[in-house]
A and B are shown apart, each in its own frame.
Chain A
């Protein structure tokens, strides 16, 4: 739906934009680096890329892991959607990760990956990402490249303004894009202004374990909170949120939420909010939400159901937040490496407004306000603006920084990246993108320490860039060199899902920590079998637990009899291999639930409910050795009244 709207929008304005900006778009020849490009993106066989790139999967709900400069895809990390390639959401151990207060959700919409930070720089520990539809934040462990935790956000609808973290990952944030009546109130939609709230949540991150907990929610006006970034350096105690729909419309937002010349950037002093929360200024409000954690010791996720949340009302918390007027329906709100400049991506605006943190502080001290919204002071535009980039292009969306004094803003409507100078606000270069860029990414480009070698365009429209594959096309990313004065297009590469944002960092930051195997002696799974002699089958009423082992190239046990129709069978499969990259698979005929893939040293469980008598083969699905084809077994299922005794074995 969103893509359709964007496409229509594009059609309407594209003629105009080509007219205005046609001079910058005279083909790819001017920006394309030609033969040099091939050399600069070529990674010889067996060699590694210099950077990792993590792109969100948008409507596919995952994170894609790529190498740069090659653009090669290495892994799809399942987060908010089930994924057969990893057995994610199919094994009994991973199912709890996708549990919510609504039940098991197999598919959600993942938007903004964000590295954990130490001193405002990516520290290579975790990657956070938000689910937009059923509001949640996930934490991915960058040692295993797996989802380690998912926390649900109550009183929210459309968790878009998320999960951007503070300078030392004290918090990740969650601003609701769709304001809703808190606590599931049943009220007329037309009572929007009265009953709806734009909740902004601060989720605390445990500095050692990374475990997330919902610290407090701020009951903000019912605007559509769109994006966020936290401050750094001088602005480290603040988080900034962009919004549209300050009109507070609840229907035809396309028109009704574009009435005012300016919406807002909200500045929240989270340090102050933290103080108010600890002083008991908030109210504990009933709210049901899930916190799901994956335990690396037991190889199992568990769900905890929480029952209330602390809510702060801005009226009771003076000095906690301020509004800065921002033209017009801003999307990105991006803080430069120094922490002084806050760039608004006013997607319907003809300028890029840049706010000054120090001016904002002075304006607060001088009380240079222009009224308030629900008790939140509105700072005078002139009192907080540092400058405006004039005529940057059409549809400025999102900005990142190269650490050398320049900013790069994506222009959705005029389909280009515009490079401009911080301080003078002059445009110094522009390159076309193919087509209709959404977000962009510079490695470390939202941190204190950008690695300003490349900018990656995450394009919304693909059209003719690749061989056609019917009506559904891959998404298209583009890699540009930003080492020289002029940006140079180096490479197109396809991406999985629809990336809404990306994070990139030097490979060395993560490579050294990457886990190769799960050590058997550390496997604390309650159904693990650590030696083949302990493999067995146990019956508990109509539940049958198969304690199974795999190693190249056999299962133990591989012949099982005495299962009956009406039984619920759990295959708990432990991979006894302790060698890197020797997973085994497990599939049994007639399983409605899926299959398993088990990494070295890991235990995973498949639930199987046999439906009719017969003998059912099972086998290894992940090619493991020259005798992989022989890695098979049989399970005999008898009718409910049969007297076949339970028996099992291998090689007997």
Chain B
């Protein structure tokens, strides 16, 4: 917790030194063109009805490649993922999986997450198809009863 405060303070000092007449939120100001779809190979995802078979594939990949750092219901190395499909656009989720390094440099939301969790999201050698399956798994998780979702939201952010 102390580390986090120090880094935020450092960012503010840097911003105030180099910022001249810019606003107090240079992270947002610096990247005005960034959309809430994130940055990366995914520009458009068309979502159909929930595909349980795809979600099942996604769950297996999630357990192998992601679960060492992400749990569904609790903060671990990274944020809990329950409710992620209600917080983020599907394109953003897939870009974060497929292109984390650039996202952490340029996407304001991703930058904020790094400042919170401090361990950078890493590329886990996942293909586009695999990322899509993981997204479907998240959709399946989030199609659970509504009260469960709102409960987990308070845990994450």
Does A92 reach chain B (CB closer than 8 Å)?
no
- Of the candidates A556, A579, A601, the one whose C-beta lies within 8 Å of that of B68 is A556
CA distance A582 to B125 in the complex (A): 13
Chain A's interface size range is 20 to 34
Closest A residue by C-beta to B67: A532
Is the pair A552, B69 in contact by a Cβ cutoff of 8 Å? yes
Is the pair B125, A531 in contact by a Cβ cutoff of 8 Å? no
Task: Give the contact stretch, choosing among B15-23, B49-57, B115-123.
Answer: B115-123
Contacts A520-B64, A530-B64, A531-B67; A626 near B118 (Cβ below 8 A)? yes
A514 → chain B closest CB, angstroms: 16
Does A304 reach chain B (CB closer than 8 Å)?
no
CA distance A532 to B3 in the complex (A): 27
Contacts A531-B64, A532-B68, A626-B118; A651 near B125 (Cβ below 8 A)? no
Contacts A517-B125, A553-B77, A579-B124; A626 near B67 (Cβ below 8 A)? no
Does A49 reach chain B (CB closer than 8 Å)?
no
A531-557 toward B: CB 8 Å interface, digit per residue (1/0)?
111000000000000000101111010
Does A333 reach chain B (CB closer than 8 Å)?
no
Contacts A520-B64, A533-B63; A551 near B69 (Cβ below 8 A)? yes
- Of the candidates B76, B119, B123, B125, the one whose C-beta lies within 8 Å of that of A520 is B125
Does A278 reach chain B (CB closer than 8 Å)?
no
B104 → chain A closest CB, angstroms: 12
Residues in B89-133 with C-beta less than 8 Å from chain A: 118-120, 122-126
Residues in B72-95 with C-beta less than 8 Å from chain A: 76-77
Closest A residue by C-beta to B114: A626
CA distance A577 to B100 in the complex (A): 13
Is the pair A578, B119 in contact by a Cβ cutoff of 8 Å? no
Is the pair B77, A578 in contact by a Cβ cutoff of 8 Å? no
B71 → chain A closest CB, angstroms: 9
Report A-chain residues with C-beta under 8 Å of the C-beta of B119. Answer: 552-553, 625-627
Does B29 reach chain A (CB closer than 8 Å)?
no
Candidate in B3, B122, B123 with the most chain A CB atoms within 10 angstroms: B122
A303 → chain B closest CB, angstroms: 32
Report A-chain residues with C-beta under 8 Å of the C-beta of B148. Answer: none
B57 → chain A closest CB, angstroms: 14
A421 → chain B closest CB, angstroms: 54
A620-632 toward B: CB 8 Å interface, digit per residue (1/0)?
0000011100000
Report B-chain residues with C-beta under 8 Å of the C-beta of A625. Answer: 118-120
Closest A residue by C-beta to B64: A531
Is the pair B125, A533 in contact by a Cβ cutoff of 8 Å? no
Is the pair A552, B125 in contact by a Cβ cutoff of 8 Å? no
Does A519 reach chain B (CB closer than 8 Å)?
yes
CA distance A627 to B123 in the complex (A): 18
A624-647 toward B: CB 8 Å interface, digit per residue (1/0)?
011100000000000000000000
Does A576 reach chain B (CB closer than 8 Å)?
yes
Closest B residue by C-beta to A576: B68
B63 → chain A closest CB, angstroms: 5
- Of the candidates B3, B64, B76, B122, the one whose C-beta lies within 8 Å of that of A626 is B3
CA distance A101 to B144 in the complex (A): 64
CA distance A204 to B126 in the complex (A): 39
Report A-chain residues with C-beta under 8 Å of the C-beta of B118. Answer: 625-627
CA distance A199 to B76 in the complex (A): 63
Chain B's interface size range is 10 to 19
Candidate in A551, A625, A651 with the most chain B CB atoms within 10 angstroms: A551
Report B-chain residues with C-beta under 8 Å of the C-beta of A530. Answer: 64
Closest B residue by C-beta to A578: B125
Report A-chain residues with C-beta under 8 Å of the C-beta of B25. Answer: none
Residues in A61-114 with C-beta less than 8 Å from chain B: none
Residues in A574-632 with C-beta less than 8 Å from chain B: 576-579, 582, 601, 625-627
Is the pair B120, A533 in contact by a Cβ cutoff of 8 Å? no
CA distance A12 to B1 in the complex (A): 70
A436 → chain B closest CB, angstroms: 49
Report B-chain residues with C-beta under 8 Å of the C-beta of A551. Answer: 68-69, 77
- Of the candidates B63, B67, B77, the one whose C-beta lies within 8 Å of that of A552 is B77
CA distance A625 to B69 in the complex (A): 13
Is the pair A578, B76 in contact by a Cβ cutoff of 8 Å? no
CA distance A531 to B67 in the complex (A): 7
Is the pair B77, A554 in contact by a Cβ cutoff of 8 Å? yes
Is the pair A531, B122 in contact by a Cβ cutoff of 8 Å? no
Contacts A520-B125, A553-B77, A627-B119; A578 near B68 (Cβ below 8 A)? no
A168 → chain B closest CB, angstroms: 35
Closest B residue by C-beta to A625: B119
Closest A residue by C-beta to B124: A578
- Of the candidates A519, A554, A582, A627, the one whose C-beta lies within 8 Å of that of B122 is A582
B76 → chain A closest CB, angstroms: 7
Report A-chain residues with C-beta under 8 Å of the C-beta of B122. Answer: 552, 577-579, 582
Is the pair B124, A651 in contact by a Cβ cutoff of 8 Å? no
Report A-chain residues with C-beta under 8 Å of the C-beta of B124. Answer: 577-579
Closest B residue by C-beta to A554: B77
CA distance A625 to B68 in the complex (A): 15
Report A-chain residues with C-beta under 8 Å of the C-beta of B76. Answer: 651
CA distance A533 to B69 in the complex (A): 11
Is the pair A579, B64 in contact by a Cβ cutoff of 8 Å? no
Extra contacts besides A552-B119, A578-B126 (8): CB < 8 Å: A549-B68, A551-B69, A552-B69, A552-B77, A576-B65, A576-B68, A625-B119, A625-B120
User: Which residues of chain A have a CB within 8 Å of any CB of chain B?
Assistant: 517, 519-520, 530-533, 549, 551-554, 556, 576-579, 582, 601, 625-627, 651
What 5 A-B pairs come out closest when comparing CB atoms?
A: A578-B125, A551-B68, A532-B68, A578-B124, A626-B118
User: Which residues of chain B have a CB within 8 Å of any CB of chain A?
Assistant: 3, 63-65, 67-69, 76-77, 118-120, 122-126
What would 18 A/B residue contacts be, using CB atoms closer than 8 Å?
A531-B68, A532-B67, A549-B68, A551-B77, A552-B69, A552-B122, A554-B77, A576-B68, A577-B122, A578-B123, A578-B124, A578-B126, A579-B124, A582-B122, A625-B118, A626-B118, A627-B118, A627-B119
